[in-house]
Amino acid sequence: MSAGPDIVTLEEALESDRARSLKRYREYVNPDLAKLLALVGYDRTFVRAEGAVVTDSDGVDYLDCLGGYGAVNLGHNHPELLAAIARVEQMPNLLQVAVSGLVGALGQSLAAVTPGDLKKVFLCNSGAEAVEGALKLARISTGRGGLLSTAGSFHGKSFGALSVTGRPKYQKPFGPLLPGTRTVPYGDLEALKAELETGAYAGFIVEPIQGEGGVIVPPRRYLKEAARACRKAGTLFIADEVQTGFGRTGAMFACEAEGVRPDIMALAKSLGGGVMPMGAVLATDEVWSPAYGCAENCLLHTSTFGGNARACAAALKTIEILVRDDVPAEAARKGEALLSRLRDIARDSELVVAVRGRGLLIGVEFAQPRFAEGLSREYMASMVASLLLEKDHIITAYTLNNPTVIRLEPPLTISDEQLEAVGDAMERICRRYSSFYGVAAAMMSRALGRRLRR
């Protein structure tokens, strides 16, 4: 072994205190991110999680309204999901050359719950990987090179996914990205139709509700008309339901609100029930067959861990529970109640300018002051998240493409009482503070207090 650092055993890692964990993160992972997380109070060690509650090493409970960025729709460590993984633990987790009964079964389950006629599935490990698969499939299936997406979108950070993501800040440092990509304003049908007329595009990729863009709900009928325009232009309609899928917006998939039948769908996050990483690309036979439907092409797109037994077991059980317990309907009911309470709070608040969302994908946008606008735009929602953490023990975060918005995206299994506590906390903050400056002062004094106590 080299004269570098010693290895760390799992037991040592699990027993490390907050200071040691932070030091290792700084030294071996990302020093500036560590600093930022410590500033807003996220340098705690979380040791337990169950349902919508996570517990730190001091025994303090926190209500998780971040929900793994939409990956824990069924709550943390759902016992039936852990049991599902245990049920297959004696099987080979990976034996890619064998026909897997679990992969076939998951394909069938996904075909059963997704809208339209999506009958072929490719399994992978993340949202970005699902988007890569979707973009490649659109190109090979149509023989066209162009890829159209929307401004403010988020589709992941691998090269292809980043190329269709509508946020220049994430793209610029890594150029040149994929050629042939273009964005149109989200929700603008005329701009989409004009672009489609060029006949250059293999696919139009779109989130039914933009999550990281700040929880933006498009105008009514936008998705339906966009799908129709795509069909007319020979462009495949790719629904990115990585974040909106599996009950999040009050339906199993957000596309259903307008009866849209996508040609391709990208899924991930809650597909693995929050206990296993998993992504999927689904397509109609019509789209899939010209791409991979022959012996020569059937292995053109692969992924080593795609369809491993444990992830499949978790995904099959996730879908079973979502259907059995009608979790999407529960999300619709709870989301309606929370949205209505937040809108009432916003009416009397100078701090909040908008409350948006559907189901339990909710964004709260904060006012920007005339002075310090740049600073406020980057940090306002983070500072509110920090106050929610410190004072109310509620975990949230800003939306990646729009840092003026905090997301409330709890597990769909969160109780009515827990949701009421979230509403109470938001109300207290909105009553107490009326501007960026008040929030900034409160957060800085808390951060300073924490530093002095250490």
Ligand X SMILES: Cc1ncc(COP(=O)(O)O)c(C=O)c1O
Residues that bind ligand X (CB under 6 A): 69, 126-128, 131, 154-156, 207, 211-212, 240, 242-243, 268
Cβ 157 to ligand X, closest distance in Å?
A: 7
Taking the CB of residue 308, how many other CB atoms lie within 10 A of it? 24
CB of 165 to ligand X, least distance (A): 8
Cβ-proximal residue to ligand X, closest one: 127
Q: Which CB sits closer to ligand X, 67 or 116?
A: 67
Q: For 174, what's the count of Cα atoms within 13 Å in the CB-facing half-sphere?
A: 15
Nearer to ligand X, 184 or 268 (CB): 268
Which residue, 226 or 440, is less far from ligand X as judged by CB? 226
Beta-sheet strands, E only, within 155-252: 181-184, 201-206, 236-240
Shortest distance, position 198 Cβ to ligand X, whole Å: 25
Nearer to ligand X, 116 or 208 (CB): 208
Across 27-150, the runs of DSSP E, i.e. the strands, are 46-50, 53-56, 61-64, 120-124, 146-150
Q: How far is the CB of 167 from ligand X (least distance, A)?
A: 12
Beta pairing partners, 382: none
Rounded CA-CA distance 296/394 in Å is 53
Residue 277: φ, ψ to 5°? -75, 130
Nearest approach in angstroms of CB 400 to ligand X is 7
We find the least distance from the C-beta atom of residue 248 to ligand X, in angstroms, to be 10
- Under DSSP, is residue 217 helix (H, G, I), strand (E, B) or coil? coil
- d(C-alpha 245, C-alpha 360), whole Å: 11
Of 216, 451, 247, which is closest to residue 330 (Cα–Cα)?
247
Pair of tokens at residue 122:
């490719």
Nearer to ligand X among residue 307 and residue 392 (C-beta): 307
Kindly tell me which of 131 and 233 has the beta carbon lying closer to ligand X. Answer: 131
Q: Which residue has the tokens 């002075």?
A: 371
Token pair 């980043």 is found at: 162
